[in-house]
Amino acid sequence: MDFMQQLRNRWQQADSLVCVGLDPEPAKFPAKFAGDPDAVLHFCTDIVDATAEFACAFKPQIAHFAALGEEGALQRVIAHIHARHPGIPVILDSKRGDIGSTAQHYATEAFDRYAADAVTANPYLGRDSMQPFLDRADRGVVVLCRTSNPGAGDLQDLLVDGRPLYQHVAGKVAREWNGNGNCALVVGATWPEQLREVRAIVGDVPFLVPGVGAQGGDAGAVVRNARTADGTGLMISSSRAVLYASRGEDYAEAAAAAAKALRDEINQHR
Ligand SMILES: O=c1ccn([C@@H]2O[C@H](COP(=O)(O)O)[C@@H](O)[C@H]2O)c(=O)[nH]1
């Protein structure tokens, strides 16, 4: 089943728009993982199993694994999600983008090496740099549009033909790059007004929305401004606020409670 169909099914079956981010930081792990050579793998799979019922997607962030030399753990975490929680799509957050011949290898990395269902991608090298991802019609391509960070506007807000650059990205993705229907957009929860504007440009294209939880975005405002007519269209992503809800022995239960609380808060506004 392709990424978009999996996502739609999951929105309905789990009644959830929550994406659980997997950003392992061993210094924040509970004490029981000290001395475990597979701590990253074990912590992440514990979190996955605890939060799966509340998740429409999981989003491992590649730098959090690669910086630790834990690419093997990333592969095994994704394999674990597919085996134990089939139907929950995995978005590899790697923000790739390069000339076409290199981008082809990034697509192979995300979809074949890691078996991700979707990947985040940086559009600023243009259409040819996105083509190897777009051509994988069964996989999702989640294009950076208006990111959640404080400096997002430095470049993304520059006016081009009277409109901010991020609006051009939104229009291009929705009208030119989405021939296979496999595109989504990253729009930060920290920018409710831009969420509303981008939704008006792109119709029902799904949004990956990081920035609730540790970055302070308002989940209710995200939903009110950016849901689609059927009350879906969003993958609202939280990493640290779920992963590190407790550093004690109850870390898995606390993560589950945080994911459930986010799901319930979101659903109040749908
Ligand atoms: O615009 C963006 C794009 C990606 N991210 C990533 O999402 C998570 C956010 O983590 P929190 O702990 O929930 O703040 C992280 O992996 C970022 O690399 C983003 O924050 N903003």
- Compute the distance from residue 161 Cα to the ligand 1 centre, in Å: 30
Chain-centroid distance, C-alpha 168: 21
- In percent, how much of the chain has pLDDT > 70? 100
pLDDT band at 4 (very low <50, low <70, confident <90, very high): very high
Kind and range of the H or E element at 238? strand 234-238
User: What atom in ligand 1 is closest to the CA of residue 148?
Assistant: 1
ipTM above 0.95, yes or no: yes
Longest Cα pair distance anywhere in the chain, in angstroms?
57
- Mention the CATH class of domain 3-268: alpha beta
CB 145 within 8 A of CB 130: no
What gap in Å lies between CA 108 and CA 101, rounded to an integer? Answer: 11
Indicate which residue's Cα is closest to atom 1 of ligand 1: 147
Q: Which amino acid is at 110?
A: A
Measured from the CB, is residue 21 less than 6 Å from ligand 1?
yes
pLDDT tens, 59-116? 999 999 999 999 999 999 999 999 999 999 999 999 999 999 999 999 999 999 999 9
Kind and range of the H or E element at 153? helix 153-156
Residue 187: per-residue pLDDT: 99
Measured from the CB, is residue 148 less than 6 Å from ligand 1?
yes
- Compute the distance from residue 56 Cα to the ligand 1 centre, in Å: 17
